[in-house]
C-alpha cells in the first residue's frame, strides 16, 4: 500500500496537476447526475416515467451526436475557449429545462432545451488530454490514467444517488439545479488552469486535420467495442434493480451496484501501480475477453449475496480494460486530435448503455428479471467478438504509430523522478493566452 500511495503521489509532481485534477472531478460530476436528475425531477413533478425517460433519452442522444463535435473544436481552438462556450450553452439549456418544469409548461417545451443540453463537454476527455500533454512518453501516464478512471467511477457512485435524493427529498428541480451549478463552477475552475492546458495546433495542422478522427486506423474497433461495454453497464443497472425488486429487496439494489463499482475502483488503483510488459493491443484483447467471461456467472445467480460477489469480481476487470483502452487511444490518435478521439470512446459507451438499458428493460418486462442478465452476457460476448475481430487491425495501427515520424506537438519523455518537476516547468508552454 505505501508503494501504491507513492506512485499516485508522484503523478502530482507536475506543477498544476493537482489543481486541474480536482477541478476536473468537480466538472465531471454533472455528467453522472444529469440523466438521473432529469428523470427524478420529472417523475416527482408529474409522475410520468415515460415523459421522464423520453427527455433523458433526448439528452443522451444529443450528447452522443454533439459531444464529439465539441471535442473536435476543443482540439482545434483550445480547451478554455470551447469549454466555456459549450458549458455556457448547456447551463442555459438546463436552466430553461428546470424553469419549464417549475412553471408547469407544456411537455413539448422540455425537448428543445434537452436537445441543446447535449453540448456539455466531455470533461473526462479534457482532463485525460492534460495528463497526456504532461506525461506523454513517460511511465507516469499509466498511473495518471488509472487515477482518472477511479475518479470517474467515484463520480458515478456519488452523482446519481445525490441527484435523485435532492429531487425526491427537497423539491423536484433540486437535482438538475445542483447539476447546473456544479457544471458552471467546475468549468470555470478547470478553465482557469492555464499552464496545464494542451497547446493549440499550428495553423497548418488545423487546415490538414479535416474529417472525423474516426478515420484513424484502429479507433473504430475501440469505439465499437465500447458500444458493447456500454451495453453491459446499461443492462446491468436495469436488471439488477429489477432482480432485487423480484426478491423484495429493491432498496438493496444500489448497494449491489455499489459493490460492482467498488471492485472496479480497487482494481483501477492496483492496476495503476503495476509495471506491465507485452504489446498494449494484447493486454487490451485479454482484458475484454476475460471481462466477457466474468459475466457468465450472472446467468446462475439466485440471491443478492451471490450476485454481489459475481459483480465484485466482474467489476475488478472493468477499470483495467478501460484504462488500457485510453492508453491505446493516446497511442493511435494524433496528439492534436486526442480530445476528440477520447470522446468518441465515451460516445460509444453512452450509445451502448442506452441500447443495453432499453433492450434489458424489454426482456425483463417480457421474461422476468433473471432473464435480463442474458442481455448483459450477450453484450459482453459481442464486445469480446469485436475486439477479437479487430485485433490484427489494432496491432497494425500501433505499429504504424510507432514508426510514424515524431509528432512535434507531443512533449518529450520526462527524465528521472528527481528532475521531473523541473522538466514539467520546462514543458509548460510559455505563450500568451490573452
Residue 312 lies in a domain: yes
Q: What is the pLDDT of residue 427?
A: 39
Measure the CA–CA gap between 122 and 380, rounded to whole angstroms: 25
pLDDT one-digit tens code per residue, 290-348:
999 999 999 998 888 999 999 999 988 888 888 888 888 888 888 778 888 888 888 88
Query: Does residue 203 form part of some domain?
Result: no
Within-domain flag for 410: no
Range of the domain at 34: 1-139+155-197
The whole-number pLDDT of residue 337 equals: 80
Of the pLDDT bands very low, low, confident and very high (cuts 50, 70, 90), residue 210 is low
Tell me, yes or no, whether 414 lies in a domain.
no
Q: 185 in a domain, yes or no?
A: yes
Q: What is the pLDDT of residue 408?
A: 47
Is residue 3 located within the same domain as residue 51? yes
pLDDT digits (tens, 9 = 90+) for 36-77: 788 778 877 776 667 777 788 788 888 888 888 888 888 888
Answer yes or no: do 220 and 167 share one domain.
no
Q: Looking at the domain assignment, is residue 150 inside a domain?
A: no
For a pLDDT cut of 70, what percent of the chain falls above it? 86
Do 249 and 177 share a structural domain?
no
Residues 163 and 270 in one domain: no
Is residue 204 in some structural domain? no
pLDDT at 412: 45
Same domain, 171 and 275: no
User: Average model confidence (pLDDT) for the chain?
Assistant: 81
186 and 232 fall within a common domain: no
Q: Are residues 44 and 96 in the same domain?
A: yes
pLDDT at 298: 92
Does position 423 have pLDDT exceeding 60, yes or no?
no
- Count of domains forming the chain: 2
What pLDDT does residue 401 have? 66
Task: Tell whether 351 is covered by a domain.
Answer: yes
pLDDT of residue 421 exceeding 60, the answer is no
Q: What pLDDT score was predicted for residue 92? A: 95
Question: Could you tell me if 175 and 228 lie in one domain?
Answer: no
More confident residue, 434 or 194: 194
pLDDT at 82 over 50: yes
Same domain, 248 and 374: yes
pLDDT in tens, 240-296: 878 887 888 876 777 787 788 888 888 888 887 777 777 788 888 999 999 999 999
pTM of the model: 0.75
Residue among 363, 385, 357, 223 nearest 293 (CA): 385
Q: What are the tens digits of pLDDT across the range 97-126?
A: 999 988 888 888 989 998 999 888 888 889
CA end-to-end span of the chain, whole Å? 44
**Do 178 and 303 share a domain, yes or no?**
no
- The domain that contains 277 carries what CATH number? 1.20.1250.20
Which region among 81-90, 110-119, 211-220, 348-357 has the lowest average model confidence (pLDDT)? 211-220
pLDDT mean over 397-405: 67
Instruction: Judge if 362 and 221 occupy the same domain.
Output: yes
Distances (CA, A) of 119 to 102, 116, 226: 23, 6, 21
Residue 186 sits in the same domain as residue 264: no
Whether 34 shows a pLDDT value over 50: the answer reads yes
Amino acid at each position: 500500500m505505501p508503494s501504491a500511495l507513492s506512485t499516485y503521489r508522484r503523478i502530482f509532481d507536475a506543477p498544476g496537476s493537482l489543481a486541474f485534477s480536482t477541478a476536473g472531478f468537480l466538472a465531471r460530476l454533472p455528467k453522472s447526475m444529469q440523466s438521473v436528475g432529469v428523470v427524478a425531477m420529472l417523475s416527482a413533478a408529474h409522475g410520468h416515467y415515460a415523459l421522464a425517460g423520453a427527455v433523458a433519452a433526448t439528452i443522451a442522444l444529443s450528447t452522443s451526436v454533439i459531444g464529439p463535435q465539441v471535442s473536435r473544436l476543443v482540439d482545434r481552438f483550445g480547451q478554455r475557449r470551447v469549454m466555456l462556450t459549450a458549458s455556457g450553452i448547456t447551463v442555459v439549456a438546463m436552466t430553461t429545462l428546470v424553469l419549464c418544469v417549475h412553471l408547469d409548461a407544456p411537455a413539448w417545451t422540455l425537448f428543445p432545451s434537452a436537445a441543446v443540453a447535449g453540448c456539455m463537454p466531455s470533461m473526462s476527455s479534457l482532463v485525460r488530454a492534460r495528463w497526456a500533454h504532461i506525461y506523454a512518453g513517460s511511465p507516469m501516464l499509466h498511473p495518471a490514467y488509472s487515477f482518472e478512471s477511479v475518479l470517474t467511477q467515484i463520480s458515478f457512485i456519488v452523482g446519481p444517488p445525490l441527484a435523485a435524493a435532492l429531487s425526491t427529498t427537497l423539491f423536484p428541480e433540486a437535482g438538475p439545479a445542483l447539476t447546473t451549478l456544479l457544471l458552471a463552477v467546475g468549468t470555470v475552475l478547470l478553465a482557469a488552469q492555464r499552464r496545464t492546458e494542451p497547446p493549440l495546433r499550428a495553423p497548418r495542422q488545423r487546415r490538414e486535420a479535416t474529417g472525423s478522427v474516426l478515420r484513424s486506423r484502429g479507433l473504430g474497433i475501440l469505439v465499437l467495442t465500447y458500444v458493447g461495454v456500454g451495453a453491459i453497464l446499461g443492462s446491468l443497472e436495469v436488471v439488477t434493480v429489477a432482480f432485487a425488486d423480484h426478491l423484495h429487496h429493491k432498496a438493496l439494489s444500489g448497494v449491489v451496484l455499489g459493490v460492482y463499482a467498488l471492485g472496479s475502483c480497487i482494481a483501477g488503483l492496483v492496476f495503476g501501480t503495476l509495471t506491465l510488459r507485452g504489446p498494449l493491443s494484447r493486454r487490451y484483447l485479454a482484458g475484454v475477453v476475460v471481462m466477457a467471461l466474468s459475466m457468465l456467472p450472472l446467468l446462475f445467480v439466485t440471491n443478492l449475496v451471490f450476485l454481489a460477489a459475481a459483480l465484485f469480481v466482474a467489476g475488478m476487470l472493468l477499470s483495467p480494460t478501460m484504462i488500457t483502452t485510453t492508453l491505446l487511444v493516446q497511442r493511435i490518435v494524433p496528439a492534436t486530435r486526442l480530445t476528440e478521439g477520447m470522446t468518441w470512446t465515451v460516445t460509444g459507451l453512452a450509445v451502448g448503455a442506452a441500447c443495453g438499458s432499453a433492450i434489458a428493460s424489454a426482456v425483463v418486462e417480457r421474461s422476468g428479471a433473471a432473464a435480463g442478465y442474458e442481455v448483459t452476457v450477450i453484450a459482453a460476448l459481442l464486445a469480446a467478438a469485436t475486439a477479437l475481430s479487430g485485433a490484427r487491425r489494432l496491432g497494425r495501427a500501433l505499429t504504424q504509430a510507432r514508426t510514424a515520424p515524431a509528432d512535434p506537438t507531443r512533449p518529450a519523455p520526462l527524465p528521472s523522478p528527481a528532475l521531473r518537476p523541473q522538466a514539467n516547468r520546462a514543458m509548460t508552454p510559455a505563450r500568451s493566452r490573452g
